[in-house]
Structure 1
Amino acid sequence: MSLRDRLIEQITLEGPMNVADYMARCLFDPQDGYYTCHVRIGADGDFLTAPMVSQMFGEMIGVWVAQMWLALGSPPAFRLVEIGGGDGTLMSDILRVAKRVPGLSDAAQVTMVEPSPRLRASQEQTISQAVFVPDVNALATDLPVIVIANEVLDCLPARQFVRTDNGWAEKCVGVIDGHLAFGLVPTEYTPQLDAEPGQTIEISAAQQHFAAQLTSLLKASTGAALLVDYGRDQPEAGDTLQALHNHRKTDPLAAPGDHDLTVWADFPAIAQICNTSVKFSTIKTQSAFLQALGMAARFNALCEAHPTEAEKLQRQYDRLTAPDQMGDLFKVVGMAWPASLPLFALED
């Protein structure tokens, strides 16, 4: 029985399913979830991530990792962690930079947090020295950590609440004439953020829980974490649920498990979780973050070394930094413990 048929059967028996539960089933169902069984990344897949756009992205992250390692006092051993490492491109680029910093490569114990069997298999081929764990809670706390999470928050489910003329309702997935359909269900929950009638407020307990896990890890281990994702930098209304297939937006109900589902990262809500426990940076645009790390200089150096590739490099550079592409939509935050640690490109 397909995931779609199982969802229809469950909803018919138990009633409407909230959007967060629907997302979780579509993405992580053990038998037929997108990340469990069907995830496809790259030009021939469903979506591209920044490391796949250009090596410059991963190299700048590598510069940030080197800065944090030096700020930690250049420990002889630390855990270099990537959560949701895709096909392994980002970690590969980070490690290439690490080789240019005396002592850094030898000190780094590479650990990949990857629950997806398909993606783990890809990462194992790319990063032979990595240790793999299924979730953040499985990370040991005996060493300092530097954690990278690129495009992780957007696949953590969110509930959606819609302001109506009569108060608040929750957007849910139901069944109409044998087909999945969105509808509104009365709710007593009142979001803290107000909205106009017809507007949607998204609440992601999963994103907030992830942030809490990272703060606990940093407090227990010492170190820093970097989060990069598309999302909001201030509390605001908006329905950001989308499905992707072959690089095109599709109906989120059309193909449960076969198409990727995402929502925006709620960085203001994450800041509320982290601010009271660890040092938390300002929310920067991806463009500002990459530029502060020296991406323009790296771009110029690559153009000089490969003049025939200059136009291609320019397209890649623009894709990562232009305001109308990834530059402003994607945001970056950092967190650290102890609070005396600098966060470099993320500090005003």
Structure 2
Amino acid sequence: MKLRIYLLIASGVSTSIILLTLFICYRYMLLNWKDVVLLTTVTLGAASVSMLIHYFMTRPLEKAIHAITEETTHISEGHFEGQVPQIGPAEFQRLADQFNRMTGKLNESFQKLRTAEASRKELVANVSHDLRTPMASIQAFVEALQDDVIQDKETFARYLQTIRLETGRLDGLIQELFKLSQLDAGGTEFVPERYHVDHLLLDGLQSLAFQLEEKQLQVDVDMPDRLPPVAIMPQEMKRVLSNILDNAIRHSPVGGTIEIKVEQISEQYVQLDIQDHGQGIDEEDSSKIFDRFYRADPSRTRASGGAGLGLAIAKSIVHLHGGTIGVDSHTGEEEHGSRFWFTLPIY
């Protein structure tokens, strides 16, 4: 039964009680017949006017309730874009406002769920591809060795070396996947310690000394003499630095320069900038470069370009430390290259 009918019935019941009271008064001789007729007429007239006013004044209430009902139907069907008009009394307007806020939050939540589901499907597809390629290579070489297809020792040793490299690729991918899932699940406890940025840079550059020498790259470091220690987990931050430096080395031209700048940007943070002079990153790729398995250059093979998880892991680790990470890139003819930066909390 509609709200308007309920209110009209309530008004009718009130009028009936008044008429019954008048009849009882007449029955027990408390009022004469003329008074009863007069009071009855006045009562019926007032009741009619009251019911008419009730009828028109409840229309905004009915519209407000109808609008909310329609929107709940849309929500049950998975549509969260609608808005309930703020009409009727102040209480109903506040209800509509709260309802619209709830709808907006539900829409955001479901959008995140859809994005997460799409990312999960893409993750499974990319992982399957990255695992299938080295597995197929290992299987082919092992079968060739088992069938005695290879007779000379040099080719035999080269096949074993290839199997070893492909196994290493598999192990590296599995380790990166495990680390990323651990970070996403909150399985890495943040236990920072006092550490100096110069030690972090030294360790990171030493671990990549072979790659730097192989491409004949020069590293220029701009760092103030006095810099406060930072509060980090050294092993995790070394992984961040190595991932970004490895990316810079891969995209730098032979004989080029990688510039590293360290500065204190506030009382709470120190910032590290790593600038290469490669081809740069397109603007549309800059916002996606930290997504897992994303490659700015689709033509790069997985053998040379890695699994595409390094920067995603770096982003998760930096966020775990309460810092920020980003990239600025130029792809013009006069100026090109990429500048990756991230912040570290001061101890």
Could you state the TM-score of these two structures normalised by the residue count of structure 2? 0.21
State the structure with bigger RCO (CA 8 A, min sep 6), 1 or 2: 1
Higher alpha-carbon Rg: 2
Which structure is higher in strand share? 1
Normalised by the length of structure 1, the TM-score is: 0.21
